Chains A and B, each alone.
Chain A
Amino acid sequence: MPESTTYPISVQVNGTARQARVEPRRTLADFVREDCRLTGTHLGCEHGVCGACTVMLDDRAVRSCLVFAVQADGGRVTTVEGLAPDGELNPIQAAFEAEHGLQCGFCTPGFVVSATALLERNPNPTDDQIREGLSGNLCRCTGYQGILRAVHRAAETMGAKTS
């Protein structure tokens, strides 16, 4: 088998410019986790169902297991590590902490990123809209109770801050 061809890509990851040569088949998830050593993005199914690998690509939440790294070329990627760069929890992370929105924590980065995308799109969601907005993320520990409370709380906190 011949050596695989690699392509140069340039991606802004959490505000830092990253250049790399990647195989076309390399997923964005593997690029983020292995090439950028940002291991907060987790792989739970690698077929686009569980949402653990959710990252923001140009302000849109995407499943990084279903996006090739080459597709992110020239784009901006935000991972869970980029949501609270100064070490303080952002309002969504703080709400997850306050409402016991996580147990084992493996699905958590995906939920936090999905919730971020949801609240950016709709700062004042109804309960049904929150449920719908998070329906692409699977959690096996919490029964979703704390997660739903957390997103409600985050919406209230962030709404109160901006209003």
Chain B
Amino acid sequence: MSAIGTRKAGRFIGQSVTRKEDRRLLTGHGLYVDDVSLPGMLHAAFLRSDVARGTISRIDVDAARALHGVVAVYTWQELQGAFGEAWHTMLGEELQVPPPLAIGDVRHVGEPIALVVAESRYLAEDAIELIEVDIEAGQAVVDFNTAAADTTNIVHQAWGLTSNAMVEVPFTPLSPDLDETFTRAAHVVECTIEQNRYLCVPMEGRGIVASWTPGRDEMDIVASCQGVHETRVFFSRYLQIPESSIRVSARDVGGGFGQKMFVFREECAIVLASRMLGRPVKWVEDRRENLLAASHSRNETGRVRLAIEADHTISAITVDHVADVGAYPPCPAILDPMLLPGPYKIPRLGFSMAMVWTNTMGKGAYRGPWMFETTAREMAIDHAARTLGIDPVELRRRNLLAASDLPFTSPGGNLFKEITPLETLEHALEMLDLVAFRREQAQARAEGRLLGLGVCAYVEPTSMGVQSLASEGATVRVETSGKVMAFLGTTSHGQSIETTMAQVVADTLGVEYDDVTVVQAETQSTPYGPGTGGSRTAVIAGGAAREATLAVRDKVLAVAAHAMEAAVDDLDIDAGAVFVRGTPVKSMTMAEVAKAAYRNAHLLPPEVGSGLEATVRFRPNTFPTWSNATHLCVVEIDRATCIARVVRYIVSEDCGPMINPTVVDGQISGGVVQGIGGVLLEDFVYDDAGNPLTATFVDYLLPTTTEIPVIEIGHVVTASTTNPGGFKGMGEGGAIGAHAAVANAVGDALAHLGISVCKTPLGPNDIHRLLVEAGAD
């Protein structure tokens, strides 16, 4: 026994302890979906449409069926009537997952038309080659900015629709004096901000192994997903069988970033095939499938207007917003207009919005799905500063909320109490040394070099109270050995949940981190959880883990008090032992407590004989839990190649007290690099006929070690009051802030040439075009 009587708060919380996940992953012993191999398992491949919009006039699968090793070939006809409702709890009945295979017509390139199940993936792909499909191509709707006005070419004509608008909200002023404010303002600045289409691109694509056991009538699923419980709930509805007959697990998942939050139509097809064949069926997509037919993201446009007073206070902001949701959006998450004023003291707001169907891959969630509010506002603020002839930093200083301005209710109704926008800006600028940078920049410009600083400030709504996302459950148990297990409803896909939640449990109970094991991503042993997404684990799952552990702690103390003939109030737990406060010699190890509770249960009075286990559901006391940050990006553009290179990247973030600082910084860095990629490298492009032009990693470029600088991260720590730990979520912030920071840095590098950057991507071709248009190439 160690350190008795010297219980230190946060022995593990706040420490960068070694991750529990690492050893298996570093030695090649992770268990991802493609590593699952079952007796009798079959392999699947899809035939996909190479036409963006068209009518299927003929499908001939005879040759494919006849190929040796092919077990089944399905088109939509064979799957008709085999399934029920196809919706997710979080998204509701309105948004049905499209039928597993195209029925009669295709609406985007990559849409699955036929499914082959064979003895090997090689044979399945051979058979795909033998299927003949004739499609009468129609005029595809590709440009989302004009799609809503197109009354001739309708993406969902087959549904009887006459418009491409999925949702249209006319301009809505949220402040009664909005018009007057714009009329009276000293300056009105307007610009149209365009954000390109870029994608989650988890390194492991989608995949599923579905295994139906006839007789037992049970469906066993291993999926690369972000939520095993919602996958089970979904398939319970879909197969019209009880949840108890479906087991879903996901031991290791190779990234998700929002893409794997919901069940895809392909996964539905595989589950149906397994049920019909009574055999395990595996489908693991290849990269082309992932780029073509897993969800796409971003791709939004906003005309932003700012009313700015003579003293440079911003008195109103509006956006007219259009988002491309593709043909079948797995999750049509778009800009949240209520967040448009962000971390600023902007008192007035108005917006219009449209979500528009096109003949492209559907929109899905991607790390901060609502983040176009940040891109639009932050790029517009830079444009406004330049129009006014002031430093974008100064315009932000003038308008950002400081801790002393709180509480503050935004015109969108968001109440901020514990955020630090101005403080993180100043902190980040201090890390940069703004004065020295502007001096260096002036020198660079004098030499003809293009050096720029981009700033982006944002608030991040984490742990949102969106229906099923509002709560998480945890079961914590001291086992007969005295070791502790925590069963959580989460499904980690890189978030270090086995580590951070063990830290919370260990500290809350007073045991060693090494003695806590977290079980998750397995439906039959863990409480329901809606899936890991929305930056909810620290706050909500952490809250559940803490509350369940506290309940177990009470039980441990009761058993120990009885065994030690002491009063519960006199006892404490530390380093895995219960002891009488002030009398360190009188103690019991957790193993001894477990022995008293289980092996010698007959000796316990009934009121303390309830075991050493508790299950609790937790929801924060208010929603969301706000965190905030300021990003600074410095780029230098090579005049010869027009390549913008990030030379410094600085983040000052306030995500409250951190459970594991290294894990937090890892999340920030990962998100930032996705944002850098989205501006400078990544761009998913369709031609005018809806043909994808970037369906390989040779065309769709991800950042590598050679494009990324050291990311400098600082923390301003303000505890949240929404949860007992004071934690704030932060999983999406990096990706939210980086887009505008990088774009604004390119803008700053080009500003003295009279160039205003309002559009991304900003690859070398784009920058070259800007220079040519400005006559500065």
Give A residues with C-beta under 8 Å from B. Answer: 1, 3, 23, 25-26, 33-34, 37-47, 49-50, 52, 79-81, 83-84, 87, 89, 93, 96-98, 100, 102-109, 112, 130-132, 134-148
Contacts and interface: CB of A to CB of B under 8 A. Distances in A.
A25 B672 CA distance: 40
Contact of B286 (A23, A46, A142): A46
Contacts of B253: 104
A42 B204 CA distance: 8
A47 B697 contact: yes
B669 interface: yes
B446 to A, nearest CB: 28
Contact of B203 (A26, A50, A135, A148): A50
In this complex, the member of B252, B255, B662 whose beta carbon has the largest number of chain A beta carbons within 10 angstroms is B255
Given A100-B666, A140-B201, A143-B669, A43 B34 contact: yes
B496 interface: yes
Contacts of B31: 39
Contacts of B663: 100
B704 A135 contact: yes
A139 B286 contact: no
Interface stretch (B21-29, B81-89, B403-411, B428-436): B21-29
A96 B22 contact: yes
A49 B670 contact: no
Nearest to B21: A105
In this complex, the member of A3, A41, A105, A146 whose beta carbon has the largest number of chain B beta carbons within 10 angstroms is A105
Contacts of B37: 34, 37
B99 interface: no
Contacts of B16: 100
A145 B666 contact: yes
Given A104-B203, A140-B201, A140-B670, A96 B26 contact: yes
B498 to A, nearest CB: 12
B257 A140 contact: yes
* Ranked 3 nearest A-B pairs via Cβ: A40-B28, A106-B254, A105-B25
Contacts of A47: 287, 696-698
Contacts of B254: 42, 44, 104-107
Interface string B659-680: 0001101110111111000000
Contacts of B18: 97-98
A55 to B, nearest CB: 10
11 contacts: A39-B34, A47-B698, A80-B26, A102-B22, A104-B494, A106-B203, A138-B704, A143-B734, A144-B673, A147-B705, A148-B710
B636 to A, nearest CB: 16
Contacts of A109: 28
A102 B26 contact: yes
A18 to B, nearest CB: 16
Contact of A81 (B28, B34, B665, B696): B28
Interface string B568-584: 00000000000000000
B586 interface: no
Contacts of B252: 104-106
A41 B27 CA distance: 10
B705 A135 contact: yes
Nearest to A104: B494
Nearest to A108: B25
B68 interface: yes
Contacts of A134: 704-705
A89 B697 CA distance: 32
B21 to A, nearest CB: 7
Contacts of B671: 143
